[in-house]
Structure 1
């Protein structure tokens, strides 16, 4: 028992032990959830507005336009698709894999001022641009007032 008091305190060892305990905790916590074979990721988006339109830009690098689906239903814009991973891995050694693969889905509630019949989407250089025109009566107007 006297030896216990003579042990040198090593804070880094204690931190590593704590990390190992936390890793075990989270591994056991999430083990009840089914794992998907392929990942589920979410692309980053920007939403802009000008006088005529709302513009949604989604980063989807490495995708083909055929693998992207854009729909509007009940004033909700949905962007979904799948980025496929290379299946041919013979004679390859991966040192790091950071890119996300698999299915994705993003939904955005649209304001009632969007003219959903005139929505257009383009995909170029890995960026999906969706133009959502505003209804005519909702566009800001300038009224010139004559000063007398």
Structure 2
């Protein structure tokens, strides 16, 4: 199998760039962040920047949904978790550090974030628990009793007794 190549004006062949198989949307996100940073460094931050969405994993067990959200450097007091029916909303803010020196480059995200999730089944919002460890917020959303799978026993009867 051959790899794609690019030809340039001089007729030279350029090999496929490293990272070609990466998520193309991640590159757009990086470009948007770079452009935003450039604009802020020249004009200043005049308008509030829209909330960004942190990375998360959602898993499901027989009893609950488990949501793990990456929030390194965020204090628990700066995170708000709300549940409304089947929707889970995690919001908060990563505050920018006050710097006493000249910042030459920054790729860390700051500002407001928002993570929204519509769960596929009925949940028990009264028993939701949250834990933060090593920069990962874990929210456990128990399923409602009606939504949990139930094993049905089969009564075996002798066929001759009818």
How much does 1:122 deviate?
Answer: 1.0
How much does 1:85 deviate?
Answer: 1.5
Q: Counterpart in 1 of 2:100?
A: 89
Aligned mates of 1:74, 1:115 — CA distance in 2: 9
1:1-148 matches, within 5 Å, as: 11=9, 36=47, 40-90=51-101, 92-94=102-104, 96-147=105-156
How much does 1:43 deviate?
Answer: 0.3
Task: List structure 1 runs of 4+ shifted beyond 3 angstroms.
Answer: 34-40
Count of residues paired in the alignment: 118
Aligned mates of 2:111, 2:48 — CA distance in 1: 9
Structure 1 residues 87 and 61, CA gap change in structure 2 (3 angstroms)? same
**Which 5+ residue runs of structure 1 have no aligned equivalent?**
1-9, 13-26
User: Does the CA contact (< 8 Å) of 1:40 and 1:101 recur in 2?
Assistant: no
Deviation per residue, 1:46-102 (Å, 9 max, x gap) = 111000001111000011011111011243211000011211232x553x3111111
User: Does the CA contact (< 8 Å) of 2:85 and 2:123 recur in 1?
Assistant: no
Structure 1 residues 56 and 35, CA gap change in structure 2 (3 angstroms)? farther
Q: Counterpart in 2 of 1:17?
A: none
Q: Counterpart in 1 of 2:24?
A: none
TM-score normalised according to structure 2 size: 0.62
TM-score normalised according to structure 1 size: 0.68
Structure 1 residues 74 and 83, CA gap change in structure 2 (3 angstroms)? same
User: Does the CA contact (< 8 Å) of 2:86 and 2:122 recur in 1?
Assistant: no
Q: From the CA coordinates, give the structure whose radius of gyration is larger.
A: 1
**Which 5+ residue runs of structure 2 have no aligned equivalent?**
1-7, 11-34, 40-44, 158-162
